[in-house]
Structure 1
Amino acid sequence: MSKKALITGITGMVGSHLADYILDNTDWEIYGVCRWRSPMDNVEHLLDKVNKKDRVYFEYADLNDQISLITVMQKVKPDYIFHLAAQSYPKTSFDSPIDTLNTNILGTCRLLEAVRATADCDPIIHVCASSEVFGRVKKEKLPINEECTFHPASPYAISKVGTDLLGRYYAEAYGMTVMTTRMFTHTGPRRGDVFAESTFAKQIAMIEKGLIPPIVKTGNLESLRTYADVRDAVRAYFLLVTQNPIAGEYYNIGGTYTCMVRDMLDTLLSFSPMKDQITVETDPERLRPIDADLQVPDCSKFKKHTGWEPEISFETTMLDLLNYWRDRVNKGEVFLTR
Structure 2
Amino acid sequence: MEKLVMPFPDPQFWRGRRVLVTGHTGFKGAWLVWWLHRLGAQVSAFALPAEQTPALSDVLEIEKRCHSATIDLADVERVCTFVQAAQPECVFHLAAQALVRPGYRDPVNTFTSNVSGTVHLLEAVRQTNSVKAVVCVTTDKVYENLEQAVYYKETDALGGKDPYSASKAACEMVIRSYRDAFLAPAGVTVASVRAGNVIGGGDWSEDRLIPDAVRAWQADAVLQIRRPDAVRPWQHVLEPLNAYLVLAERMYADGSLAQAWNIGPKKAYSVRDVITLARAEYGSGEVQFGQAESGPHEAGLLMLDAGKIAAALGISPRWTLEETIARTMQWYRDFAAGQSGADLCERDLNAFLSARSDVTKGV
- The TM-score range, normalised by the shorter chain, is 0.7 to 0.9
Alpha-carbon distance change, 274 to 42 in structure 1, aligned in 2, over 3 angstroms = closer
Q: Give CA-to-partner distance per residue, 1:252-274, whole Å, 9 cap, x none.
A: 11123421111111111112433
Q: CA deviation at 1:193?
A: 3.8
Distance verdict in 2 for CA 1:94–1:135, change over 3 Å: farther
Within the candidate set 83, 86, 108, 1:76 is matched to 86
Q: Tell me whether 1:32 sits opposite 2:45 in the alignment.
A: yes
Cα distance, 1:5 vs structure 2: 0.9
Q: Report % sequence identity.
A: 22
Structure 1 residue 139 displacement after superposition? 2.0
Instruction: State the match for 1:148 in structure 2.
Output: 156
1:178 alignment counterpart: 190
Query: 2:308 — aligned with what?
Result: 301
Q: Select the residue among 102, 105, 120 that pairs with 2:115.
A: 105
Instruction: Please state how far the C-alpha of 1:160 moved relative to its aligned partner.
Output: 0.1
- Aligned residue pair count: 315
Supply the distance in 2 between the matched residues of 1:6 and 1:163 (Cα, whole angstroms): 19
Change (3 A) 1:329 1:60: same
The structural deviation recorded for 1:37 is 6.4
**Change over 3 Å in CA distance of 1:37–1:44 after alignment to 2:** closer
CA distance in 1, matches of 2:295, 2:194: 21
Q: CA deviation at 1:34?
A: 2.0
Aligned partner of 2:19 in structure 1 is 5
Instruction: Evaluate the alpha carbon distance shift between residue 135 and residue 322 of structure 1 in structure 2; reply closer, same or farther with a 3 A threshold.
Output: farther
Query: Displacement of 1:327 after TM fit?
Result: 4.8
Give the whole-Å Cα distance in 2 for the aligned partners of 1:295 and 1:197: 18
Instruction: Tell me the equivalent position of 1:233.
Output: 240
Deviation at 1:149, TM superposition (A): 1.8
With structure 1 as the length reference, what TM-score do the two structures score?
0.85
| Partner amino acid, structure 2, of 1:295 | L
In the alignment, does 2:138 pair up with 1:129?
yes
User: 1:83: how far off?
Assistant: 0.2
Q: Does 1:166 align with 2:170?
A: no
Is the partner of 1:182 in helix, strand or coil?
strand
Gaps of 5+ in 2: 1-14, 339-363
Matched with 1:95 is 105
Tell me how far 1:288 sits from its aligned partner.
4.4
Confirm or deny: 8 A CA contact 2:144 2:157 kept in the other structure: no
- Farther off after superposition, 96-105 or 169-178: 169-178
- Over aligned residues, Cα RMSD in angstroms? 2.4
Change (3 A) 1:245 1:201: farther
CA contact (8 A) 1:135 1:291 kept: no
Paired amino acid for 1:182: R
Gaps of 5+ in 1: 332-338
TM-score (norm 2): 0.80
1:334 alignment partner in structure 2:
none
- AA at the equivalent of 2:193: T
